[in-house]
Amino acid sequence: MSELKEGDKAPDFTAKDQNGKSVSLSDHAGKDVILYFYPKDDTPGCTAEACNFRDNYQALQQQGYVVIGVSTDDEKSHQKFSAKYDLPFTLISDDEKKIVEAYGSWVEKNMYGKKYMGTARKTFVIAKDGSIRKIISKVDTANSSQQVLELIDN
């Protein structure tokens, strides 16, 4: 499968959120969506990123954005993570790795010389028409929402 580029149609998906509710990208047709992929619930970088989206959630909502986080953790893990940090947005469980693969976020990683497959931290800004407006591959976890808000201002 070829890598997604800005301007491509965002792949639709359906998966369960932290409350076991089925969520599809197409549920948000006509809205701008921030779809962010992160490696693991309750780890330092992922917590910083989620809390930054939480802290700027109202500003993003005022701009008309829906925020959806995706990792391969299960619903129970997402539920705990969401409750612990009072996250006001949807976290999707992609334990079958269909969404991370569709978005090119399931990649080979290398830690201490050991290679393994894992989720690459990436943010996709999806326009109302379902096209990918921006792909942020170098995510600044402490300022992830600012990276998106800067795009909106430009």
Rounded Cα gap, residues 136 and 122, in angstroms: 6
Residue 109, beta-bridge partner list = 116
- Give the angle subtended at the CA of 103 by the CAs of 98 and 105, to the nearest 5°: 90
Q: Please choose, from the candidates 43, 91, 95, the residue with its C-alpha nearest in 3D space to the C-alpha of residue 70.
A: 91
Which residues are known to be catalytic? 46
- Give yes or no for a contact between 38 and 50, defined as CB atoms under 8 angstroms apart: yes
Q: Which two tokens stand for residue 102?
A: 């569709």
